[in-house]
Amino acid sequence: MVEVLKGVHVIDLSEEGGLPLECYLLNCDEGVVLIDTGMLPSAIERIEAELRAMGKKWDDIKVCLITHRHGDHIRNLARVKELSGAEVMAHEGDVGEIEKATGVEVKGLKHGERLPYCGGIEVVHVPGHSEGNCCYYLPERRLMIAGDTLFADEEGALSPPPERYCLDVEQARREIKRLLDYDFDVLLVTHGRNTMRDAREKVRELCEKIGVA
């Protein structure tokens, strides 16, 4: 079990030869929240193992939040829905594509919307990587779950998402500065090493370095 902050579980979904990949389970008083689903059957097994370690079951997952529409984040969504019955939500900009790709009904979220879990989970829309790409911000944990808004290397050095994965790379780079409107110490990225302290300052330095501050 990997609990990086109280009630915040990181699940490593990486497979040999592939990009680092992870998803998250939030153990909230209101129920369990899953963020992204991974893409392979092995991811389902790992999510299940983490749930078991938490003393939880699939149907304890009340909501599945999706950061964006790319396959490595949503390919298991139909299976997750079947196992958990959870309500699925994503930013409205990606809802159509996610529904088309998975056959699962998805509730659309707007920038700034606050979901009533874990003391409030705020939707931070950061378009560019995809139209509806978003982060989820937990002010009580001082935590930003960035999805693919930022990538990190093995040492945790941050970078914008690679151009080949972006709908509009210039927009994806420019919009990173939106994160500076929030106060956070910890930054979880789907691909690469997570930042466990002073994360906002690291994002600010990146914005300066790439000339979008």
- Total number of residues shown for the chain: 213
The reply to whether 173 sits near Zn ion by the rule CB under 5 A is: no
> Which of 148/175 has CB closer to Zn ion?
148
Q: For Zn ion, give the closer residue by CB, 7 or 128.
A: 128
Shortest spacing between CB 165 and Zn ion, in angstroms: 5
* Site stretch for Zn ion (CB under 5 A), options 39-47, 102-110, 118-126, 142-150: 142-150
Minimum gap (Å) between residue 176 Cβ and Zn ion: 14
In the complex, what is the shortest distance from the CB of residue 204 to Zn ion, in angstroms, rounded to a whole number?
23
For Zn ion, give the closer residue by CB, 98 or 118. Answer: 98
C-beta of 131 vs 148, nearer to Zn ion: 148
Whichever of 9 and 129 has its CB closer to Zn ion, that residue is: 129
Instruction: Among 22, 92, 148, 175, indicate the residue that binds Zn ion (CB under 5 A).
Output: 148
The residues in 56-75 that bind Zn ion, with binding defined as CB under 5 A, are: 70
We find the least distance from the C-beta atom of residue 199 to Zn ion, in angstroms, to be 20
Residues 6+ apart with CB under 8 A from 52: none
Contacts with Zn ion by CB under 5 A lie at 70, 148
